[in-house]
Amino acid sequence: MSLYSRLNAHTQAQSDGGKPVKGTYSLLRIGMIWLAANLVVTTLLTGTLFVPGVDFATAFLMIVVGTLAGAVVLTAIGAIGTRTGLPTMAITRGAFGTRGSLLPVAANVIVLMGWSWVQAMLAGVTVNFLVESATGYSNPILFSVICQSIVVILAILGHEGISKIEPWLAVLILAIIAWVFITAFTAFNLGDFQSVAPDASLGYSPIIVLDIVIATAISWTVLSADFNRFARTTKAGVIGSGIGYTISTVTAMTLGLTAFVYVLLSGDEAAAFDPTTIVAAFGAPLAIIIFLSVMATNTMVVYGMVTSVVNAKVGSKLKFLPTALVLGGISIIGSTWLQLLNQFTDFLVVIGAFFVPVFAIMIVDYYIVKRRAYTKDILAARGGRYWYKAGVNWFAVAIWIIGASMSYVWAYVWPLPIGATIPAFVLTFVLYLAVMLPERGRHQAVRSQHLAEEVDEDVVATPAA
């Protein structure tokens, strides 16, 4: 058997095949997974965007409020994963239909691909800064490609190992974060940080900051059920992910905020969303943490992207390894597009436009229309309650388009004083509820049962041929 054949057999054996998974993780384990997942450079650098657009205290308050608001959506979607055993994109079949779910799956792959590019670039820029400082050699594109190549290899061969060591890596990251905070607040007091005057010309306001923070939570929600389906109970999943996500996001964004203002107060040149700005101030330990966090988190992003494609269609014939090689190749090529770093806030807006309406629809569909229960029909390739019209719920698709379009309009064409994320969520929620509420009355309530249990019952009930 060739090396490729052995590797293909190994990766295929590790894939769950899109089947529901019965979770075993405790509240603490789920909390540690989410704590580790979001202690990453993109979240950290998002915090560098806010000052001097707004003052330090306002930025911190919006980080806390926005994170809590986003965590409500994240945990609501994650709970569906725990209760059904299905990953996020498989759950979309409930609202969008067996075939209609391929649309949010495609959007998910685009978003995850973008995340993999951004994180690889940031790791590459950081490594390049260290190498250039030591040797004078500079090639950020090369180092971005190397970083992403390592990530693809890890996604194929070592994602299970990464998932096991990531919580321990979080402890190391938290130690470095504590050191950065101590350094910053030893050099300057809180009054000094607050003394940096807001610059209205930068186009930021408290609501815009809030919008960006909520959009960050939305970007992580695409993986919420993927992680939380492994929780032993819904309570463990909701509390663990809620606490883990909130602590990691507030900590990472506040770190970026604090480190950036520290650079400003020190009188040094500072560029928002540039890892070299804070690495220059705090040295190699912070650079090492940035690199390791990207390797860990981006590995799971690439793995999640491949899993989404492989399991997009019920009964899909796609294999993990060839899909990983194709998507991994695209992610490596895309990591050379460093100009994307200059449009990170636009990237977050795109994520919001894609997925704020999707998650509003999913929440209404599961918790209200389907009365907190999806049946085993969601695992069928054809027919059943989630077949709708030729496999597509066109109401969900149309409302998604409306919500996404208005999210873009409210962000760029007619900007609202309250941002675009919250209005787009509310609009989509209300529209889908109004259109689909009659569907609730046409079906009797069914007992919520984990889909892995229903599959096991079918196996027991079906005699062997």
**Is 435 within a domain?**
yes
**Which CATH number fits the domain that encloses residue 52?**
1.10.4160.10
> Residue 353: which domain range?
22-452
**Is 461 within a domain?**
no
**Is 8 within a domain?**
no
Torsion of CA 44, 161, 221, 432, to 10 degrees: 170
pTM reported for the whole predicted model: 0.88
pLDDT in tens, 147-164: 999 999 888 876 566 666
Query: Token pair of 347, please?
Result: 């990237």
How many CB atoms within 10 Å of residue 453? Answer: 13
Asked if residue 223 lies in contact with residue 237, where contact means CB atoms within 8 angstroms, the answer is no
Predicted local distance difference test score (pLDDT) of residue 166: 67
Res. 254: pLDDT tops 80: yes
- Number of domains forming the structure of the chain: 1
Burial of 413 (0-12, 13-18, 19+ CB in 10 A): exposed
E-strand ranges in 48-197 read none
Using alpha carbons only, give the angle 346, 176, 142 rounded to the nearest 5 degrees.
50
Alpha-carbon distance values, 71 to 5, 30, 420, 431 (Å): 42, 14, 18, 23
DSSP 42-58: HHHHHGGGSTTTS-HHH
Backbone angles phi, psi at 270, to 5 degrees: -130, 135
- 147 residue type, one letter: C
Mean pLDDT of all residues belonging to the chain: 88
**Is 6 within a domain?**
no
Q: Report the C-alpha gap between 45 and 216 in whole angstroms.
A: 12
Region 213-239: what's the mean pLDDT? 92
Asked if residue 22 lies in contact with residue 229, where contact means CB atoms within 8 angstroms, the answer is no
Q: What is the DSSP letter of 420?
A: S
**Which range has the worst mean pLDDT, 118-132, 159-173, 308-322, 419-433?**
159-173
**Is 215 within a domain?**
yes
Predicted local distance difference test score (pLDDT) of residue 456: 53
**Is 399 within a domain?**
yes
pLDDT in tens, 428-451: 999 999 999 998 877 777 777 888
Q: Report the C-alpha gap between 53 and 51 in whole angstroms.
A: 5
pLDDT cut 70: percent of the chain above it:
92
Q: Report the C-alpha gap between 288 and 272 in whole angstroms.
A: 20
SS3 202: helix
pLDDT in tens, 352-409: 788 999 999 999 999 999 999 999 999 998 889 999 999 999 999 999 999 999 998 9
Res. 298: pLDDT tops 80: yes
**Is 457 within a domain?**
no
Confidence of residue 460 (pLDDT cuts 50, 70, 90): very low
Q: Which of 51-55, 212-216, 452-456 has the highest mean pLDDT?
A: 51-55
**Is 12 within a domain?**
no
Res. 15: pLDDT tops 80: no
